[in-house]
Amino acid sequence: MSESHTIGQLAHAELFTATPERTLWFFTELLGMQVTGTDGRSAYLRAYQDSYHHSLVVTESQDAGLGHVAWRANSAAALEEGAAKLEAAGRGDGWIAGDVGHGPAYRFTTPDGHLNELLWEVDRYEPTDEERSASVCAVQKRPLQGVPVKRFDHINLLAANLPATKAFYVETLGFKCRERIEMPDGLELGAWLSFSPFPHELAIMVDSTGTAGRLHHLAFWYGNDTHLNDCAEALREEGITIEAGPSKHGITQSPFLYIYEPGGNRIELFGENGYFVLEPDWQPRTWTAENLAIGGSIYGLELPPTYFAYGTPNVEITDDALTDTLRHRPPPAQVPVH
């Protein structure tokens, strides 16, 4: 297995929301996550398999969108080396002393403008006696609230400049490209990157509105397709908009459910793992216009026009953007209708 020597783990992400109360209701009551702290306009949350103080920060803001995404380095030394590389690459924003739940972090920005952090010191979550699992390898018991997600799984960024954003993560931080979409005109429509056997901890997709630095989605892991069905039913009953799914992507072979949390950010709920990148010399797989319908859904679901056009913060989706999106959409399934 090949891997990054800098990045050890996806640590947490910060979501902006104009309706923090509803957003917190969504993550706690429906997805069974837990608030482990609050500070100013931010609340800190974790799922029951997340090891650290938090995997999600929900911060009140005028617009929805990504605050930042934080990566844990492979070691204290890897943090120093990573910061040096980022500074050398001209993408570094400097150190912050620490934040709730973690120590010093080096801030940096993608060419598209997404704010990232690299850190090493973290507070581990200590379950209460009542929460403690009988399994010593479990952080805590499965909660009895909602349809509880297990942990934060990956992040998907929209980029106005996909090639530069992808190159930055690959060249400066050691991510490997596992899968990609290339259209007939040579446009790279998406890239799925990881530093582990997961096909992606990070995905980057072209923003068809041309806006820079937006969020496509955060994904949380169930590891089980039945729980996607349970979740879809629960979310629908509670008035949450389901954008697509449950179904299963060909890309990364991931069973998915996409919804909008009340603040408007797209959230993916993720089912069982489809495959792992186990070959140390894995070569990126390329999806094309011919098989993109399968890439979108192995089961035949057509992804909606919003899928490549909507992101947060929300911007006007012009007809051009939709046309552009639709040009790249998988064609609808051919039904035997005259």
Closest to 69 in 3D by CA, of 14, 123, 112:
14
Name the minimum Å distance from CB 188 to a copy of itself.
15
Treating both helix axes as pointing N-terminal to C-terminal, what angle do 162-173 and 76-88 enclose, rounded to 10 degrees?
A: 140
Name the minimum Å distance from CB 90 to a copy of itself.
27
Name the minimum Å distance from CB 218 to a copy of itself.
16
Choice between 92 and 330, CB closer to a copy of itself: 330
Choice between 92 and 250, CB closer to a copy of itself: 250
Choice between 130 and 185, CB closer to a copy of itself: 130
Q: Is 88 helix (H, G, I), strand (E, B) or coil?
A: helix
Name the minimum Å distance from CB 313 to a copy of itself.
11
Euclidean distance between CA atoms 73 and 235, whole angstroms: 35
Euclidean distance between CA atoms 148 and 135, whole angstroms: 18
Closest to 284 in 3D by CA, of 181, 186, 148:
181
Name the minimum Å distance from CB 107 to a copy of itself.
20
Which helix H or strand E contains 10, and what residues bound it? strand 7-17
Locate the DSSP E strands across 40-133.
42-46, 56-60, 65-73, 92-96, 105-109, 115-119
Choice between 213 and 246, CB closer to a copy of itself: 246
Choice between 275 and 323, CB closer to a copy of itself: 275
